[in-house]
Amino acid sequence: MQNKVLTLKQLADKLEVSKSYIDKTIRTLGMHTELKKDGNRYVVNPSQQREIERFLNDKKSHTETHTQSNTSMHTSENSEVKFLRSQLIERNKEIESLHKILDQQQQLQLKTQNLLEEQKLIISADKEPENETNKFKESIEIQQQLDQLKSELEQKNLENEELKMNFEELNQPPKKSFWQRLFNQ
Q: How far apart are CA 94 and CA 91, in angstroms?
A: 5
pLDDT value of residue 62 = 64
Tens digits of residue pLDDT in 4-13? 888 888 888 9
From start to end of the chain, where are the E strands?
A: 6-7, 36-38, 41-44
pTM across the whole model: 0.32
Query: Could you count the other beta carbons within 10 Å of the beta carbon of residue 23?
Result: 15
Q: How far apart are CA 71 and CA 65, in angstroms?
A: 10
Q: How confident is the model at residue 52 (pLDDT cuts 50, 70, 90)?
A: confident
pLDDT above 70 coverage of the chain, percent: 85
Tens digits of residue pLDDT in 98-156? 888 888 888 888 888 888 888 888 777 666 566 667 778 888 888 888 888 888 888 98
Fold of the domain spanning 6-88: Multidrug-efflux Transporter Regulator; Chain: A; Domain 2 (1.10.1660)
Q: How confident is the model at residue 1 (pLDDT cuts 50, 70, 90)?
A: very low
How far is CA 80 from each of CA 30, 73, 76, 124, rounded to the nearest angstrom? 44, 10, 6, 65
Q: Which helix (H) or strand (E) holds 99?
A: helix 46-171
Query: Could you count the other beta carbons within 10 Å of the beta carbon of residue 6?
Result: 19
